[in-house]
């Protein structure tokens, strides 16, 4: 557990900076439509703000109940708080990705990233103080947080793939032009069902073995001593 929370804290921080930060800078330079969509930048601005919270509307593109910090997005993307960033209004209507899903998936991923840093910092501090094992609420929170990194990964993929639309190869091939003329819808459905069944089997097997191992419990201390001798 000590190893897990310390590693979790280090990994959580690295996921935000430098890894996440540098990837966002790359998107700002190479896929400006996606960047504008995930950040909720619907009009071009100098000194663009970073949106901490908002509810996005699509028609017309608008952020409701927006909470922003001026200039931070420009600074994060280009190292200059006054740098201009293109908004959705700069692009052709048929080149703009779906706004609501792209924005919501990205921001929820970021919220989870901040949560991971916070919960791992608290757990690491409790380990340092030697009080983690008696903190039932924190231990339960850690237990129920186990699926959240997987959720964060899926939200990141949604932001990446939905934000890339309408392109399957950016600015070279549209998704609408990439449909197969030889693979039928039934064959695709069969593949999806087959993969789903395989992963369901593997997931069930994992849970079965995990439960069996937990129910068995740790080896008794005297058994360890006999084995060591």
**Per-residue pLDDT tens for 36-89?**
999 999 999 998 999 988 888 888 888 888 889 899 999 989 989 999 999 999
Share of the chain above pLDDT 90, in %: 62
Distance (Å, whole) CA 75 – CA 61? 24
- Spatial distance between the Cα atoms of 73 and 49, rounded to a whole number of angstroms: 5
Strand 84-85 relative to strand 62-69, pairing = unpaired
Is the C-alpha dihedral spanning 151, 155, 156, 157 positive or negative?
positive
Q: Residue 142: which residues within 8 A CB-CB, separation 6 or more?
A: 5, 119, 123
- pLDDT, tens digit, 9 for 90 and up, residues 171-222: 899 998 988 888 888 999 999 999 999 999 999 999 999 898 888 877 776 6
Neighbours of 30 (CB within 10 A): 11
Q: What is the pLDDT of residue 229?
A: 56
Structure tokens at 11: 């990994």
- Residue 228: pLDDT band by 50, 70, 90 thresholds? low
Helix residue spans in the chain (DSSP H): 2-14, 21-30, 32-39, 72-78, 99-129, 136-144, 148-164, 185-216, 221-228
Please give the structure tokens belonging to residue 166: 């309408």
Task: Identify the pLDDT of residue 162.
Answer: 94
Distance between CA atoms of residues 30 and 120, nearest Å:
33
The set of residues, in sequence order, having a beta carbon less than 8 Å from that of 11 and lying 6+ positions away, is none
Cβ contacts of 151 within 8 Å, gap of 6 or more: 112
pTM here?
0.81
pLDDT of residue 35: 94
DSSP letter assigned to residue 18: I
Tell me the C-alpha distance between 78 and 45, whole Å.
Answer: 13
CB neighbourhood size of 125 (10 A): 13
């Amino acid at each position: 557990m000590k190893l897990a929370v310390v590693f979790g804290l280090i990994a959580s921080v690295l996921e935000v900076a430098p890894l996440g930060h540098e990837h966002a800078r790359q998107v700002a330079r190479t896929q400006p439509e996606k960047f504008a969509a995930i950040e909720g930048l619907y009009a071009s601005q100098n000194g663009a703000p970073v949106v901490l919270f908002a509810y996005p509307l699509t028609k017309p593109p608008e952020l409701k109940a927006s909470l922003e910090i001026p200039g931070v997005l420009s600074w994060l993307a280009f190292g200059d708080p006054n740098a201009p960033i293109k908004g959705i209004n700069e692009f052709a209507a048929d080149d703009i990705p779906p706004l609501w899903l792209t924005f919501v998936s990205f921001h929820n991923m970021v919220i989870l990233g901040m949560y991971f840093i916070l919960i791992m910092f608290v757990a690491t501090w409790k380990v340092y103080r030697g009080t983690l094992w008696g903190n039932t609420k924190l231990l339960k929170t850690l237990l129920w947080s186990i699926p959240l990194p997987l959720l964060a990964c899926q939200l990141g993929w949604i932001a990446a793939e939905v934000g890339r639309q309408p392109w399957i190869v950016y600015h070279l091939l549209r998704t609408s032009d990439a449909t197969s003329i030889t693979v039928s819808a039934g064959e695709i459905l069969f593949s999806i069902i087959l993969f789903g069944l395989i992963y369901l089997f593997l997931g069930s097997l994992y849970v079965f073995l995990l439960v069996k191992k937990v129910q068995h419990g740790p080896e008794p201390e005297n058994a360890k001593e006999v084995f060591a001798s």
